[in-house]
Amino acid sequence: QSALTQPPSASGSPGQSVTISCTGTSSDVGGYNYVSWYQQYPGKAPKLMIYEVSKRPSGVPDRFSGSKSGNTASLTVSGLQAEDEADYYCSSYAGSNNFDVVFGGGTKLTVL
């Protein structure tokens, strides 16, 4: 399966909102409500931020929200803070065999 499509970069000023898109197909993003988002700081392991399109794990600020429309999922970060500057990856369940996973190419979020 092909990687999901994310913009290479996104940016916003402190306090603003920024949305990162993640485009797939009807075989992955559009076919299932199993999109997740991960935050990764340089040299660190990824961290789960959103699962099942819009659910937040315990401890993730409610400034982070997820949504989906058709074959495109989105991560919105509201009230941007300097600490939100990181790489963000989307991921989706992608197969009928219950196991296939596909990641997006990643988006570098810069807080101006």
Partner 1 sequence: EVQLVQSGAEVKQPGESLKISCKGSGYSFTSYWIAWVRQMPGKGLEWMGFIYPGDSDTRYSPSFQGQVAFSADKSISTAYLQWSSLKASDTAMYYCARRDGRAFDIWGQGTKVTVSS
Q: Which residues bind partner 1 (CB under 8 A)?
A: 3, 32, 34, 36, 38, 45-48, 51-52, 57, 89, 91, 93, 97, 99-106
Burial label for 78, CB within 10 Å (0-12, 13-18, 19+), is middle
Minimum CB–partner distance for residue 110 and partner 1 (Å): 17
Minimum CB–partner distance for residue 53 and partner 1 (Å): 10
Nearer to partner 1, 3 or 112 (CB): 3
Nearer to partner 1, 13 or 97 (CB): 97
Nearer to partner 1, 1 or 17 (CB): 1
Alpha carbon 36 to its chain's center: 6
Question: Is 90:102 a contact under the CB 8 Å cutoff?
Answer: no
Closest to 108 measured CA to CA, from 83, 87, 93: 87
